Amino acid sequence: MDEILKLLEENGRISVEDLAAMTQKSEDEVRSVMKELEQSGTIIKYAAIVHPGNRSEKSVRAVIELQVTPERDRGFDAIAEKIYHFPQVKSLYLISGGYDLQVAVEGSSIEDVALLTQKFATIDGVRSTKTQFVLQIYKENDIIYVPKEKDLRQEMMA
């Protein structure tokens, strides 16, 4: 199961036939494992990863950190639930340190992100916010977005 999961993490489009050959299992066994992983919620979604610079619609990314007062009985969950329903929220983490929640957001403009920060600030329990705009993405989710430089020395020697 772990072997199939690792292969799917590397390439979500790999065929059942290839998975069977690589794991030395039958295609039916692979299908059964994949179905179990999907039904258990281990595999949540299959998706294409698009280079952020190649999207037709340009966007602004930011990280917003929030200091919050946790609610009795629900802790940070109640505030987190209010925040993760915003469509601009791409990731939300409970973190340690000076802030409690870290929110990765994507908006259509700086103004859009600023408005979102204001909305977060008015949620009951939010004590303060800090917004930092993303200027360049070098690596995200194990994917390096910086093109490899071509070694010109090889061309000159050939």
DSSP 23-35: HT--HHHHHHHHH
pLDDT in tens, 109-148: 999 999 999 999 999 999 999 999 999 999 998 888 887 7
Q: What is the pLDDT of residue 157?
A: 59
Q: CA geometry: angle at 13 spanning 7 and 18, to 5°?
A: 60
Q: What is the pLDDT of residue 151?
A: 62
Task: Compute how many other C-beta atoms are within 10 angstroms of the C-beta atom of residue 63.
Answer: 15
Q: What is the pLDDT of residue 158?
A: 55
Residue 155 has pLDDT above 70, yes or no: no
Phi, psi at residue 94, to the nearest 5°? -85, 125
CB of 103 within 8 A of CB of 91? yes
59: nearest Cα among 67, 68, 50? 50
Domain 57-136: CATH architecture, name and number where available: 2-Layer Sandwich (3.30)
Q: What is the pLDDT of residue 143?
A: 87
Question: Hey, what amino acid is at 132?
Answer: Q
pLDDT in tens, 30-69: 999 999 999 999 999 998 888 877 777 789 999 999 999 9
pTM of the model: 0.78
